[in-house]
């Protein structure tokens, strides 16, 4: 989970988007559950369309972040660019991307690989990695 958090922190840093921006998309109930503008407590994962454009793109980078590939593939780097566009162009895009990647969470992600995926794709990262990222913020 820490690796996923690190990856998402880098991802949103590359977008130049403050995580505080996302708090406007969520509310909290007395039991501490998140409520997405899409519906249920943890996004609209019950809706097959919710992550249909996110999951396949992120999956192209899994070989690198899990450590089985030495370098991210050109397809991985292209998919990161596409995710950047979704985050910039769609209302709630960054939150949706965060929730979808969190749903795909994989304990096999290697922190060092997650930390370097954007740099390995030639993308600039100027934000420190945080292990405390939360999609609801």
> What average pLDDT score do residues 12-24 get?
39
Tallying the residues shown for the chain, one arrives at 137
State the pLDDT at residue 64.
Answer: 92
127: pLDDT strictly greater than 60? no
The dihedral of CA 48, 113, 118, 13: what is its sign? Answer: positive
21: pLDDT strictly greater than 70? no
25-45 confidence digits (pLDDT tens): 333 333 333 334 344 334 455
61-108 confidence digits (pLDDT tens): 889 988 999 999 999 999 988 888 888 888 888 788 777 877 776 667
What would you measure as the largest C-alpha separation in the chain, in angstroms?
46
């Amino acid at each position: 989970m820490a690796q996923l958090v690190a990856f998402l922190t880098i991802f949103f840093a590359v977008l130049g988007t403050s995580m505080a921006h996302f708090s406007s998309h969520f509310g909290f109930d007395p039991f501490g559950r998140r409520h997405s503008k899409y519906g249920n407590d943890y996004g609209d994962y019950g809706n097959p369309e919710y992550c249909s454009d996110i999951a396949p793109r992120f999956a192209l980078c899994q070989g690198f972040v899990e450590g089985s590939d030495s370098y991210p593939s050109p397809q991985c780097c292209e998919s990161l660019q596409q995710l950047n566009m979704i985050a910039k162009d769609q209302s709630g895009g960054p939150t949706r991307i965060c929730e979808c990647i969190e749903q795909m969470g994989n304990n096999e992600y290697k922190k060092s690989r997650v930390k370097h995926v954007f740099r390995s794709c030639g993308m600039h990262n100027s934000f420190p990695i945080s292990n405390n990222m939360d999609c609801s913020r």
